[in-house]
Amino acid sequence: MSLPQEIDIAILGAGLAGLSITSWLDELAPADASLPRLLLLEAREEDTHDRTWCFWDQVAHPFKDAISHRWPSWQVGNAGEQVEYSDPNHPYAMLSADAMRRSAYSRIAKRNEFTLIRGIKVDAITPQSQSLRITTSQGHLNAKVVIDTRPPPLSALAQLQGVWQVFHGAVVYQPNHGYDLSKARLMDFQTGHNGIHFIYLLPLDENHLLVEWTCFDVDRHSEACKNLLTDKLPWMLASWLDEHLGKGWVVQRSEIGCLPMMPVTPPHLNSRYLSAGIRGGWMRPATGYMFASCQQALPI
């Protein structure tokens, strides 16, 4: 698909923030309303099932029907002791990246004004008198407004005022694992490691669990972070699975991440340029629940 020469709104990045903004525009406008011409530019050629967002389902958002699991109870534990809380009216919920994208893509397909172009890299954004000129790997276009959801540059992060949340998660198959399907284990703190480490466990059904090892570190290049940011299952997570599930478990899918839990200074060009998502400081420094904070920053 070729680039248009002119567009009303260009959204850079079709991840959580970009697709949430698009979905909110569709959600808030009547079906027969005429909307600004909106173009999403995404560098990836194809999607991968690389993310799962979990949050307390207590704010409005366009993806309610795409939620796959809800847990009315959750617990935090340390050294064999647990604190548990239940609230059926505000359950802990899980939304997969696949389900979120399917929901957003269906909205894009129904709106003639919305277009998504993949495999395109943005090289520069230059202010013009009445627009912003976007230079890409496939040519140029002018946009009246640019919403930039790409990852922030390291220079925008106040690294001395926060930590990195680094995790390695795995969907594990273990028949009849025995964990309560109504209860999410949000933090089970693990001793014997430098820094803060905990296990995060969500029972998906009688035979599947999402188990994640998470640590907080001021240095994203530390040994603990390196252990988690590899395709191979980290030894500490494998040992935990052996101890708590016994032998025979199988990893069916993995996801890894390194999130900046720190203040972000949004890059700024002029009034036609907006930063959104992590780039815009939407991730609260104290938590990795990006989905909830992203939706609370909207509707736009």
* Distance, C-alpha 17 to centroid of its chain: 8
Task: Count the neighbouring beta carbons within 10 Å of the beta carbon of residue 249.
Answer: 19
| pLDDT of amino acid 273 | 97
**In this structure, are residues 286 and 261 in contact, taking their beta carbons and an 8 Å threshold?**
yes
| pLDDT of amino acid 145 | 97
Angstrom CA distances, 164 to 54, 116, 190, 294, stand at 18, 31, 18, 19
pLDDT tens-digit readout, 219-243: 999 999 999 999 999 999 999 999 9
Could you tell me the maximum CA-CA distance found in the chain, to the nearest angstrom? 65
Q: How many Cα atoms occupy the beta-carbon half-sphere of 120 within 13 Å? A: 24
| pLDDT of amino acid 119 | 95
Domains and CATH numbers, the chain: 6-73+97-155+264-296 (3.50.50.60), 163-261 (3.30.9.100)
Q: Closest by alpha carbon to 146, among 11, 279, 250, 260?
A: 11
| pLDDT of amino acid 244 | 95
pLDDT tens-digit readout, 13-45: 999 999 999 999 999 998 888 899 999 999 999
Q: Which string of DSSP letters, residue by residue, matches 111-145?
A: -TTEEEEES--EEEEEE-SSSEEEEETTEEEEEEE
* Distance, C-alpha 54 to centroid of its chain: 9
| pLDDT of amino acid 73 | 97
Q: Is the peptide bond before 299 cis (omega within 30 degrees of 0)?
A: yes
Both tokens assigned to 195: 């820094």
* CA 146 – CA 249 distance, rounded (Å): 47
Q: At residue 96, what are phi and psi to the nearest 5 degrees? A: -85, 155
* CA 283 – CA 165 distance, rounded (Å): 12
With 0-12 CB in 10 A as exposed, 13-18 as middle and 19+ as buried, what is 285? middle
With 0-12 CB in 10 A as exposed, 13-18 as middle and 19+ as buried, what is 299? middle
Band (pLDDT 50/70/90 cuts) for residue 50 is confident
| pLDDT of amino acid 254 | 94
Mean pLDDT across 196-225:
95
Band (pLDDT 50/70/90 cuts) for residue 124 is very high
Query: What mean pLDDT is reported for the chain?
Result: 93
* CA 116 – CA 40 distance, rounded (Å): 5
* CA 144 – CA 137 distance, rounded (Å): 20
Helices (H), the chain: 16-28, 97-110, 223-228, 235-245, 290-296
Q: Closest by alpha carbon to 277, among 254, 260, 253, 256?
A: 260
| pLDDT of amino acid 195 | 85
pLDDT tens-digit readout, 53-88: 999 988 889 999 999 999 999 999 998 899 999 999
Residue position matching structure tokens 């090892």: 213
pLDDT tens-digit readout, 241-297: 999 999 899 999 999 999 999 999 999 999 999 999 999 988 876 666 688 888 877
Band (pLDDT 50/70/90 cuts) for residue 5 is very high
Mean pLDDT across 182-209:
94
E strand or H helix that includes residue 255: strand 250-261
With 0-12 CB in 10 A as exposed, 13-18 as middle and 19+ as buried, what is 132? buried
| pLDDT of amino acid 288 | 60
